[in-house]
Amino acid sequence: MTKKKSYLKSEDDTILTSILPLGFRFRTLYNLRESGYKGTVDEVNNQPSLTIPEQSMSIREIISRYANGLPVSASQRVPIYHGDEILPDPRTLDLAELQDLRQRISEDVKSLTTNLENQKAKAAYEGELRKAEQLLEFEKLSKEKRAAQKAEYLASKPKPEKE
């Protein structure tokens, strides 16, 4: 008859855990407090609840929506489209329609690139204009500063006495 191994803690296990420092043991859910874990074990929510009463669906309603092929999610998302233009599937178009589509897209690309180049040129011009204004302001301040330094120098210089 073989003796079944017991998975309960034996005296050897308690001796081993008392000898080994905590760094050599695995941290588990059951020994978090022993391992020096300072945080909370459970999630804490300090925000006000966003739950709106009577907005949930019952199990019967969820099953009936699923059976009828309706969306099961409670929130009905509204799709966002940028404009009315949706590109057609090119596999279903004939050669003339493909040529028209290609021409229209190339015109759109050209207009967008010229707009972008115009915006870049305008930004560069405005940057150069700001630099020129700053340079003029600096020159004006430096002239005033030089005039003030000259006046200060002349005021501190002793005047020759006339006989």
Q: Which two tokens stand for residue 10?
A: 């034996």
Question: Residue 37's closest CA among 46, 45, 47, 27?
Answer: 27
pLDDT tens-digit series, residues 86-119: 778 888 889 999 999 899 989 999 999 999 999 9
Domain boundaries, the chain: 92-156
pLDDT at position 15: 56
pLDDT at position 115: 92
Q: Answer for the pair 120, 131: CB distance below 8 angstroms, yes or no.
A: no
Say which residues have a Cβ less than 8 Å from residue 36's Cβ, sequence separation at least 6: 22
Reported pTM = 0.34
pLDDT tens-digit series, residues 63-94: 998 898 887 776 666 666 666 667 788 888 89
Q: What is the DSSP string of 96-118?
A: HHHHHHHHHHHHHHHHHHHHHHH
Q: Answer for the pair 62, 72: CB distance below 8 angstroms, yes or no.
A: yes
pLDDT at position 85: 66
Specify the 3-state DSSP secondary structure of 144.
helix
Buried b (16+ CB within 10 A) or exposed e, 107-124: eeeeeeeeeeeeeeeeee
pLDDT at position 106: 93
